[in-house]
Amino acid sequence: MTRKRIALLGPPGAGKGTQAKLIADKTGLCHLSTGDILRDEVAHGTEIGRAAKLHMDRGDLVPDKLIIDMIHERIAKTDGFILDGFPRTVAQAEALLKITPLDLMINITLSRVEVIKRLSSRRVCRECGKIYNLLFNPPKSKTRCDLCGGELFQRDDDRPEVVDNRYDVYMQATAPLIDFYCERGLLCEVDGAQPTAVVLERIMDLLAG
């Protein structure tokens, strides 16, 4: 595979994280998830984490400088990666160009209705962090984790009203990236409403092309 610097674009709930992990398994590329990185910072109570949490709990985008500083450090440690959740704004995309060029930007599309349905059905274990979805990957009990018996909860940023705001934020700030990468001949689109395996197959075809 010749493409080694890849980013995934798409609204919340489009499956970027799932696909990034599957691609990483198949290619050996490093999966860099801004969501996971941010939540780790929040969990450890770092200065960046405390600042980011205020924005995340409202469903707003975390300021560019916080994200760019974290991503720059991690990209420097890899020779190939899949960016999941970055860039999210044109300013971030321009900053990324100064760090490293991309080989491909894959836009996973999904409607507002489907986004709200998917994310508001997500539950997370407080103990082990396993993620379930009441629609696609339900636990045996709606309140307990299958693996460790920990309590399942809905993250603040998965509440329907917050998800609705997250979609608006995406359309306002992130959708312009479609034009940014299309103008540079780097954008390819995949229908995120398709089954996971079909989306992955399409992405792997793009990477092999």
The residues of the chain scoring below 70 in pLDDT are 1-3
Q: How far is CA 136 from the centre of its chain?
A: 18
Question: How far is the C-alpha of 108 from the C-alpha of 193, rounded, in Å?
Answer: 9
Q: Assign a CATH topology to domain 5-208.
A: Rossmann fold (3.40.50)
Q: What is the pLDDT of residue 3?
A: 61
Catalytic residues: 16, 88, 122, 155, 166
CB 107 within 8 A of CB 95: no
Q: Alpha helices of the chain — where are they, by DSSP H?
A: 16-27, 34-43, 47-56, 64-75, 90-99, 112-120, 160-169, 176-183, 196-208
pLDDT, one tens digit per residue, over 163-190 is 999 999 888 888 899 999 999 999 999 9
Q: Residue ranges per domain, the chain?
A: 5-208
Mean pLDDT (the chain) is 90
CA pseudo-torsion sign 16, 90, 178, 53:
positive
pLDDT, one tens digit per residue, over 108-122 is 999 999 999 999 999
Q: What is the pLDDT of residue 180?
A: 95
Q: What is the pLDDT of residue 96?
A: 94
